[in-house]
């Protein structure tokens, strides 16, 4: 690594007042032709480019980003990472990602601040209890760590939760995945960008894709705000805008794009050292390293590309937060925002070829894509390089909506969607 | 967050309504003769337009009636509201 970050480079640069650090990635003009083009410079897109270069030796590739890298949903999520999904296919996919997360800082030589602080999912009624216990068993059969906690154990693990039996939705227990946790979202994009750039990948920002050129069933290139670029392989990782790109290629996807909201509070001293999610009342909360409470709310129930969302959704979430954590009643919220998430009918992602040769889609991550970033990039790179899926993403093909072989995590997983 | 002019009740807050998704998807007349591809198209594939889109809405916390709406999904501006069975306005 030509520019390795270490304690020695830190000391060395201290002598020059940290003014001589080299740029972590370049700002190239697009070439006329690439072996492959990735549309979307978020975490998933940059990870895809990184693994294409690293594992499949495709170096003549570019990532096109219409804004700045990591400025979309990568910078807008609540950074929760876990793999406690119910179905075998999902468990395989998300645990593949979790295993990569565990060594990602070392691999990228970039501190992504991965913190395995545990994720606890609460149960508020008898059906929640049954569903979550079932999920715990399913997880353990798939080799994923999961334990069931009763109400007292929940209180012991996270003392600020109100476990009184007379609240509207009392805490009847919960599940805990200890290997789960959080990571610094920006650092993930930046680390992958730096790693990909070093292997020769062109990261082209402020470059919007305007059209996809096809010759019959084969893609020939992309029309962009920086001119036409020829390529035989296009990987689309455009999250909420996947349908917009698909329409350019004359393709329809089973997606609906909706705003998902989150908010952060003013920073306070450490008060909650884990991530707590509650599906029934739709609220989840963790604390960032800066001390802000990071709160995830729900999606608006209509298609919208405005990165805002409705007030009633935030209100509902905060009501639930206040009942579960009365200690937060005087907290001030600093920022609120929305990200546009592309939701599949079965709430599982699509990492797939299409019926157009050379056109690949990685989309439909809905409300929970951040956790899968490294695994998604790895498997999508495999799919693009070999023109066929890896066994871990074979179930997440586009054809499942025709065959009916859905991966229905929506109701079954009792996770916040 | 916006106001919706229900064709039966008048202007109300959006939180009173629920969205039924893309409008004018015609239910197949001969379901038994549909291929798997046609079923997938009918059940799952959506235009998901960024821009002017035709949608079905229900005044769930009001008159509980369904109606159609033309809305720009890039800025949530509503261009037209019309009753079920009425002809959609031309763009």
* pLDDT of the residue at A417: 45
* pLDDT of the residue at A283: 85
* pLDDT of the residue at B31: 92
CB of A68 less than 8 A from some CB of B? no
Residues 6+ apart with CB under 8 A from A1: A109, A198
The residue of chain B with its CA nearest to that of A402 is B40
Cβ-Cβ contacts under 8 Å, B41 against chain A: 252
Cross-chain Cβ contact B53/A255 below 8 Å:
no
Report d(CA B2, CA A370) in Å as an integer.
Answer: 29
* pLDDT of the residue at B1: 77
Cβ-Cβ contacts under 8 Å, B14 against chain A: 310
Cβ atoms A30, A224 nearer than 8 A? yes
* pLDDT of the residue at B91: 59
Strands B10-13, B18-22: pairing kind: unpaired
Q: How far is A351 from chain B (nearest CA, A)?
A: 16
* pLDDT of the residue at A416: 46
* pLDDT of the residue at A414: 43
Per residue in A346-363, pLDDT (tens digit) is 999 999 999 999 999 999
Q: Which residues of chain B are modeled with pLDDT < 50?
A: none
Q: Which residues of chain A are modeled with pLDDT < 70?
A: 1-2, 411-417
Task: Domain B3-83: give its CATH architecture.
Answer: 2-Layer Sandwich (3.30)
Report d(CA A160, CA A173) in Å as an integer.
Answer: 15
**Alpha carbon distances (Å) from A14 to A8, A23, A310, A317, B11:** 10, 16, 47, 45, 62
∠ at Cα A258 (A93, A63), nearest 5°?
60
Cβ-Cβ contacts under 8 Å, A345 against chain B: 43-44
Cross-chain Cβ contact A402/B37 below 8 Å:
yes
The dihedral sign for the CA sequence B14, B19, B22, B24 = negative
**Residues β-bridged to residue A124:** none
Cβ atoms A66, A206 nearer than 8 A? yes
CB of A60 less than 8 A from some CB of B? no
**pTM, to two decimals:** 0.96
Please report where in the chains the tokens 């036409």 appear, as a residue: A228
Strands A147-149, A227-231: pairing kind: unpaired
Per residue in A100-116, pLDDT (tens digit) is 999 999 999 999 999 99
The residue of chain B with its CA nearest to that of A309 is B1
């Amino acid at each position: 690594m030509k520019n390795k970050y270490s304690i020695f480079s830190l000391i060395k640069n201290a002598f020059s007042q940290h003014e001589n650090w080299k740029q972590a990635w370049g700002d190239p003009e697009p070439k006329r032709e690439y072996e492959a083009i990735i549309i979307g410079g978020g975490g998933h897109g940059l990870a895809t480019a990184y693994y294409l270069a690293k594992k499949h030796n495709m170096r003549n590739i570019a990532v096109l980003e219409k804004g700045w890298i990591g400025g979309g949903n990568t910078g807008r999520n609540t950074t929760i990472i876990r793999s406690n999904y119910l179905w075998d296919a999902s468990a395989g996919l998300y645990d593949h990602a979790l295993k990569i997360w565990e060594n990602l800082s070392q691999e990228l030589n970039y501190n992504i601040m991965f913190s395995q602080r545990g994720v606890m999912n609460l149960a508020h009624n008898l059906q929640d209890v049954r569903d979550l216990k079932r999920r715990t068993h399913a997880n353990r059969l798939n080799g994923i760590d999961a334990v069931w906690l009763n109400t007292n154990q929940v209180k012991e693990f996270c003392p600020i939760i109100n476990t009184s039996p007379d609240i509207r939705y009392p805490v009847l227990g919960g599940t805990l995945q200890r290997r789960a946790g959080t990571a610094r979202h920006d650092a993930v994009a930046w680390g992958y960008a730096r790693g990909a750039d070093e292997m020769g990948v062109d990261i082209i920002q402020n470059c919007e894709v305007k059209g996809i050129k096809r010759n019959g069933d084969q893609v020939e290139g992309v029309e962009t705000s920086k001119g036409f670029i020829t390529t035989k392989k296009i990987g689309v990782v455009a999250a909420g805008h996947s349908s917009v790109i698909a329409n350019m290629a004359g393709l329809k996807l089973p997606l609906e794009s909706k705003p998902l909201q989150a908010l952060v509070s003013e920073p306070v001293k450490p008060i909650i050292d884990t991530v707590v999610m509650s599906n029934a009342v739709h609220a989840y909360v963790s604390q960032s390293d800066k001390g802000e409470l990071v709160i995830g709310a729900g999606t608006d129930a209509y298609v919208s590309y405005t990165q805002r969302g409705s007030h009633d959704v935030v209100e509902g979430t905060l009501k639930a937060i206040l009942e579960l954590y009365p200690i937060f009643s005087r907290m001030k919220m600093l920022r609120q925002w929305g990200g546009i998430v592309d939701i599949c009918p079965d709430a599982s992602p699509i990492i797939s070829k299409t019926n157009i040769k050379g056109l690949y889609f990685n989309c439909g991550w809905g409300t929970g894509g951040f956790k899968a970033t490294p695994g998604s990039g790895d498997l999508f790179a495999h799919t693009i390089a070999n023109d066929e899926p890896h066994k871990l993403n074979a179930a997440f093909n586009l054809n499942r909506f025709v065959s009916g072989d859905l991966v229905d995590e929506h109701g079954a997983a009792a996770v916040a969607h | 967050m916006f106001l919706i002019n229900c064709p039966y009740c008048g202007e109300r807050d959006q939180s009173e309504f629920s969205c039924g998704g893309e409008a004018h998807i015609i239910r197949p007349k001969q379901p038994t003769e549909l291929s798997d591809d046609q079923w997938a198209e009918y059940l799952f594939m959506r235009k998901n337009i960024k821009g002017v889109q035709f949608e079905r809405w229900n005044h769930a916390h009001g008159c509980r009636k369904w109606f159609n709406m033309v809305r720009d999904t890039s800025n949530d501006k509503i261009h037209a509201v019309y009753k079920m069975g009425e002809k959609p306005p031309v763009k």
